[in-house]
A and B are shown apart, each in its own frame.
Chain A
Amino acid sequence: MELLDSFIFITLIKAAVVLAVLLTTLAYLQWVERKVIAHVQVRPGPYRVGPHGLLQPVADIVKLLTKEDLLPPYVNKPLYLLAPFLAISMALLSISVIPFGPEIKVGPVTTWMQLTDLNIGVLFILAVSSMGVYGIALAGWASNNKYALIGGLRSSAQMISYELPMSLAIAAPLLISNTLSLRELVMSQAGGIFHWNILHGPFPQIISFIIFMIAAFAETNRVPFDLPEAENELVAGFHTEYSSMKFASFFMAEYANMITVSAMATLLFLGGWMAPWPVAWGANLVPTVIFAIAGVTALYHGANPARKRDKLTLPVFGIIFLIIAGVFLLPIVQSWLLPLFWFAAKTGAILFLFMWVRATLPRFRYDQLMGFTWKFLFPVAMLNLLVTSFLVAWTTK
């Protein structure tokens, strides 16, 4: 009993769970991205490796693990080996303060669904993302390669320049929520969709949300800001000379950064794990309804499928979805499954936005990209902060 209650033991268990879920999500996020881009382009995407390509990430992991791990002789060895380690460790570190749900009771233990709550949580995430710049800059430098160096410098300059409007866009909802701790940030948005920071208070934070999303695209080096790592521009940018697991580290770091900024957007603007309308109006039935519709649709299409292979897989998926819909109705799991569902749904919607934008938009040229942040985004973010602070000061007693 003493052992179960001790802080270290509980945190280790939580860390193991979060790590397992996060790494699986990273692998399958790539599957989701390929499927989304494929369906936008009216083609099936990964389809053959397992039902609907679900084993494709496994195949990719096996490929990356078994590829030859080159250490080119002309690189700066200590920095070459340090750079992917820095990138992935900073990317995974920022997940440690994100709250996934409220306080729950698992057996004899009562604990929050969050690894740790710092009262400078937002600053911690900003600090860790500032340190992530080093991974990319050092990768470009250590590779002893013109293209990698230019790609690394451009990418790190872009990340630093976009940290400014991002910080200002983060500061505005913090004025409304009045706390830097992520747990209290979510708690201050309780009470339905009109208390979420995006629609709250004296000044709805819609402009802040848009600025934050644009800066998030640039921070994670995603389209339309992915010139430093575009394949047809600079060979492969800063990770040209990397292969196998080190390349996989950069890849995982990029997806982990995507998850972090989506989670930040959810926590800052969209109310974290709070439901949009009160439980009394049926907010607990939403996941059941969604999964039931998905299950029924899958079963319906399984009756006469477009491709012969789907005659077996679609009905199976339909039944699985219906079972999940039933699970959401059990009161024993509702206390922790429902907030987790809302958090995952909101973060997933923003991740879908990332992939949708990647499938749709062309990329900026580098001078356009830098001009955009210094001449437009930064002044707009400052004005937004000014207006928000004025209105908050005016309406606060």
Chain B
Amino acid sequence: MDVILFLIFAVVAVVCAINVVVQTHPISSALSLVGVMGSLAVLYLLLGAEFIAAAQVIVYAGAIMVLFVFVIMLLNAGAETKKGRSYLIPGAPLLIVFLGLMAYYVQRYLFPESAVVRFGGFTGGGPKDIGNALFTTYLLPFEVTSILILVAIIGAVVLARKEIE
């Protein structure tokens, strides 16, 4: 059952990711990326990361990608016109092969044979555990990211405002 779920959502993720890279119109790429994020959220649930799965949908798919979709709609970006040679067709499979080989060697020499993922194998990913770790061990990065967000807000507001003539 877990294997079937993993295979379905892994295939959906890879197909949507290929779609992101291959589509000409940015809005199709953006919606495919939302598909990738949704399938990754299900895979996080399989790995017992329930808070991260919810945060992925709320923050990544529900806010960041909506921002992307807004900008695409506002700029009225059309489909990309072909200019010059595209190295995508030979390049992407080469990259996949290269990284796939690296992943294979990493997993072959680093993992014991019995490393498997079962749904329910790890129950320490709930909001309580995340909250505990976030406010004790990782308190300093948490505060620093709040300053980071503040800086990003100010930067975005300053960059995107209209100049008063």
Q: What is the interface of chain A, defined by CB distance below 8 A to chain B?
A: 79, 118-120, 123-124, 126-127, 130-131, 133-134, 137-138, 140-141, 149, 152-153, 156-157, 160, 180
Contact = CB atoms under 8 A, between A and B. Distances in A.
Contacts of A180: 127
Given A120-B126, A141-B27, A180-B127, A131 B57 contact: yes
B54 A120 contact: yes
A60 B127 CA distance: 45
A153 B54 contact: no
Contacts of A79: 27, 31
A93 to B, nearest CB: 12
Interface stretch (B1-9, B59-67, B141-149): B59-67
Contacts of A138: 31, 69
B58 A126 contact: yes
Interface in B117-148: 126-127
Contact of A137 (B61, B73, B126): B73
Contacts of A126: 54, 58
B57 A134 contact: no
Interface residues of B, number: 19
Nearest to B125: A120
B73 A149 contact: yes
17 contacts: A118-B50, A119-B50, A120-B51, A120-B54, A120-B127, A124-B54, A126-B58, A127-B62, A130-B66, A131-B57, A131-B61, A137-B66, A137-B70, A153-B73, A153-B74, A160-B66, A180-B127
Contact of A130 (B50, B62, B74): B62
B69 A137 contact: yes
Given A126-B54, A140-B73, 12 more contacts: A118-B50, A119-B127, A120-B50, A126-B58, A130-B58, A131-B57, A131-B62, A133-B62, A134-B34, A137-B73, A157-B70, A180-B127
A123 B66 contact: no
Nearest to A156: B66
A136 to B, nearest CB: 10
Contacts of B63: 130, 160
A149 B27 CA distance: 14
A134 B126 CA distance: 27
B78 to A, nearest CB: 12
A276 B27 CA distance: 50
A141 B66 CA distance: 13
A119 B45 CA distance: 12
B58 A127 contact: yes
Max chain B C-beta neighbours (<10 A), residue from A118, A126, A134: A134
Top 6 nearest A-B pairs (CB, nearest first) are A130-B62, A123-B54, A127-B57, A127-B58, A120-B54, A120-B50
Contacts of A130: 57-58, 61-63, 66
Interface string B2-45: 00000000000000000000000001000100100000000000
A180 B55 CA distance: 14
A293 B58 CA distance: 46
B61 to A, nearest CB: 7
B45 to A, nearest CB: 10
A152 B69 CA distance: 12
B7 to A, nearest CB: 21
Contacts of A123: 51, 54-55, 58, 127
Contacts of A133: 62, 66
Contacts of A152: 73
Max chain B C-beta neighbours (<10 A), residue from A124, A130, A140: A130
A324 to B, nearest CB: 40
A127 B27 contact: no
A79 B51 CA distance: 30
A161 B29 CA distance: 24
Nearest to A129: B62
A367 B125 CA distance: 41
A219 to B, nearest CB: 13
A37 to B, nearest CB: 32
Contacts of B66: 130, 133-134, 137, 156, 160
A173 B73 CA distance: 37
A124 B127 CA distance: 12
A134 B57 CA distance: 12
Contacts of A137: 66, 69-70, 73
A134 B66 CA distance: 7
